[in-house]
Structure 1
Amino acid sequence: MSRTILDVHILHTVPPSNINRDDSGSPKTATYGGVRRARVSSQSWKRAVRLAFRRTLDDSQLGERTKRIGEAIAARIADLDPELKDRASALAADVLKASGLVKKEAAAKKGKGEAAANSDVESGYLMFLSHRQQENLARAAIDAERTGEKLDTKQLQKLADTDHSIDIAMFGRMLADVPDLNVDAAVQVAHALSVHAVDNEFDYYTAVDDRKHDNQETGAGMIGTIEFNSATLYRYATIDVDRLHETLGDADATREAVTAFLQAFVTSMPSGKQNTFANHTRPDAVMVRLRDTQSVNLVGAFEEPVRERQLGDRSGMVAEAAHKLADYTTEIEETYGDPAVAAWVTHVGSRTAALAPLGEVLPLPGLVSAVGTTVADRLGTPA
């Protein structure tokens, strides 16, 4: 059966920066093709995408990942029924325990007696629920309080397994205590890798004490170092549109989710050390390929690291990376007899023009719209 898979390939140059650091504060790296590369973890960029969703999607279409789930549901109970404000935390604890989302012993750790009744339950791990699911559980708690009826576990779990938000459908959900409520991710995001070798560098800085300076005293008030690198990154993500549609249960919502993800993934940036480096850049090129067999990550184009070389009257990494990506894309699809069903390209200037023959060239808004229309057509809904 024909599938609908969208592969997103991006070339993105980032100036001196430290957008995703390890436990020692150094920019993350990885060895690939025998050399050290700059790396940005998939989790870091997915977080940036989820934050970007807030600019384009309604709150009801999104979810919240938190251990303070009792606090979240208690706030909704208080908003829905202000008369229950004083008991909101206790009611939230009851509904979470009855649903099995939070173990009873975990809730008991909060304290005893009245103190426990007025404290907010925390889960033992980050719990991902949509805002609509939180509201549904809050309404169930209110109804049980008003009617005196016992909370029903199966019904509560059903409420937590319907009305999935776009971010849950895309990135998945694991509930350790209730595995039946797990959601398979429809989107996979690769770790971004530089297309070339990278050596981290150090910025030695001094901070001046204003009062010392005003009194013409010498010496810095503080000194330190910040590690950074700069890189042209290859970024990749893939969307299983069929799985996304299955989870959301609505073709229009699926189309909106796809277009929101494309816009967010292309334009977002992890926020690490942004105040220090102001590394806000846009990608040099975006290529989206629709496939009906399986996802294909094209990072193999850069297994041999790009080296700066002269291309016509230009030098740098971007132009050579675009040529390598274009050549590798053609070679892979011809070798395996698996061409893209449709493809679109957004690129900036002549440096990345090598990618233009690989798809319909459009500015980003046009690319996003065209992909959305194609998704709607394949799902059998009017564009």
Structure 2
Amino acid sequence: MTTPRFLQIHTLHSYTAALLNRDDSGQAKRLVYGGTSRTRISSQCLKRHWRTAENDPHALQRLAGYVDSFRSRELVTEKVIAPLKGRYSDEVVAALEPAFQKLVYGDKADKGKKSRQTLLLGQPELDWLAARAEEIASSASDAKAAGKAVADWIKDKNFKAMAENTALPGGLTAALFGRMVTSDPAANIEAPVHVAHAFTVHATEAEDDYFTAVDDLKKDDDDSGADTIQETEITCGLFYGYAVIDLPGLIANLGGDQDLASRVTYNLLHLIAEVSPGAKLGSTAPYGRADLMLVEAGDRQPRSLATSYRKAIPHDLSKAIEALDKRLKEFDEAYATGEERRQMCVEGQIDGIEKGSLAALAEWAAGKVKEAANA
């Protein structure tokens, strides 16, 4: 039996009369695959809902060892400089901000908020910056002294300095989904969790929903008819989703904590299966759980099973499972890569693979993390 390096997670999710992920025109996102237009959910949309599901029993925020992070263009303004205001002179505080903005956001940071990258920083990094700002502000006699002190201090400082003595400098979000910092490539964090765009296994099913709103306070002599008339698009779909966890990469990003990596994997499988993306919650209730989740553990380069649906099939779960089963057997015959597999399936199953509950599947996947750590 090989030591697992990768966990591959395949899902089939159903949604009805929803608008899960919109483009810049307000319509459902799409892609053309195999000559057929499909409805799409971007990987960014999926990841955001998984990482912000704070009230879910398996929320990442509930894990012991969770480290928070924040994504913004205003991290320095809100988390480093704002706490100093009212405690030190306005002139001293104003003298500190440009240097700290440049340290975090790069040379163009002083051109204003719009010139900055929307950056992800972990709570340990923000605490370190805030502590340094406090030290300088408390020892500066005036704005000139503060400006000189921060300019001298900043010369040899970078993201590496912020990361010292902490296992999760960028927080758990960065440890899972990575981080890119254009102002300091050394601060980049490689993502061990790779997420594909989900798409419908069938052609796009959509219609324009014409709706009205009536003014409850309208008097009888007012103009008749609706007060508001609008249209929005709604779609239905059976989506194929795919994600990969690089187990050594995950363990390394978590400071070598294999127990935390195992618990993160357990929770992440629940989030992938149970947390729905989607806007317009009040008018569409876009909640669905995975009809199928297939997890594979192996040491060879991952491969998606998206080609099961290169040719669009009918919107039918049993046919989608059949197509997935067929392509899996074809890959096995051609490559014989020997992955171990488990599945959770609400209806039917893929032949020859042990079937169980989501909790059992997540427990099995979490065990593979420890196998990888102990290899």
TM-score, normalising length: structure 2: 0.84
Which residue does the alignment assign to 1:233? Answer: 239
Deviation at 1:84, TM superposition (A): 5.1
SS at match of 1:74: helix
Question: What is the one-letter code of the residue matched to 2:116?
Answer: G
Q: Deviations over 1:325-376 (max 9, x none)?
A: 1222122122211121x2221121xx3x222632x32222222222112211
Query: For residues 122 and 219 of structure 1, do their structure 2 counterparts lie closer, same or farther at Cα, with a shift above 3 Å needed?
Result: closer
Cα deviation, 1:49-89, whole Å, max 9, x if unaligned, reads 221267523485232111111133227855xx994596667
Per the alignment, in what secondary structure is the counterpart of residue 48 of structure 2? Answer: helix
Please give the alpha-carbon distance, in whole angstroms, between the structure 2 residues aligned to 1:85 and 1:19.
48
Aligned counterpart, 1:114: none
- Unaligned segments of structure 1, at least 5 residues: 111-120, 309-316
The one-character-per-residue Cα deviations of 1:120-169 (angstroms, maximum 9, x if unpaired) are x7861101111121112212222344467752554542243452322112
User: Contact 2:176/2:250 (CA < 8 Å) preserved in 1?
Assistant: yes
Partner of 2:60: 57
Instruction: Provide the aligned C-alpha RMSD in A.
Output: 2.8
* Aligned equivalents of 1:135, 1:122: Cα separation in 2: 24
Please give the alpha-carbon distance, in whole angstroms, between the structure 2 residues aligned to 1:178 and 1:126: 14
Task: Find the counterpart in structure 2 of residue 24 from structure 1.
Answer: 25
Structure 1 contact 133–159 (Cα < 8 Å) conserved: no
Within 1, Cα distance between the matches of 2:267 and 2:88?
A: 37
Superposed displacement of residue 253, structure 1: 2.8
Shift of the alpha carbon at 1:247? 2.2
Say whether the 8 Å CA contact 1:170–1:185 is kept in structure 2. yes
- Structure 2 equivalent of residue 339 of structure 1: 338
Match of 1:222 among 207, 219, 228: 228
1:378 and 2:339 equivalent? no
For residues 8-37 of structure 1, what are the alpha-carbon distances to aligned partners after superposition, in whole Å with 9 as ceiling and x for unaligned? 100000001111111211111111122111
> Does the 8 A contact of 1:63 with 1:165 survive in 2?
yes
Distance 2:87 2:342 in 1: 55
Show the 5 A alignment for 1:95-244. Answer: 95-97=100-102, 100-103=103-106, 106-107=109-110, 109=111, 124-146=116-138, 150-161=152-163, 163-212=169-218, 218-244=224-250
Q: Find the aligned partners of 2:114 and 2:34 in 1 and give their Cα distance.
A: 44
> TM-score, normalised to structure 1's length?
0.82
Return 55-64 or 294-303, whichever deviates more: 55-64
Q: Per the alignment, in what secondary structure is the counterpart of residue 104 of structure 2?
A: coil
State the alpha-carbon separation in 1 of the partners of residues 94 and 51 from structure 2.
Answer: 27
Q: Is it true that 1:285 corresponds to 2:287 in the alignment?
A: no
Would the aligned equivalents of 2:101 and 2:109 in 1 still touch at CA under 8 Å? Answer: no
Aligned match of 2:350: 355
Structure 2 residue runs of 5 or longer lacking an equivalent are 141-148
Are residues 272 and 152 of structure 1, via their aligned partners in 2, closer, same or farther at CA, if it must alter by over 3 Å? same
In the TM superposition, residue 92 of structure 1 has moved relative to its aligned partner by 5.2
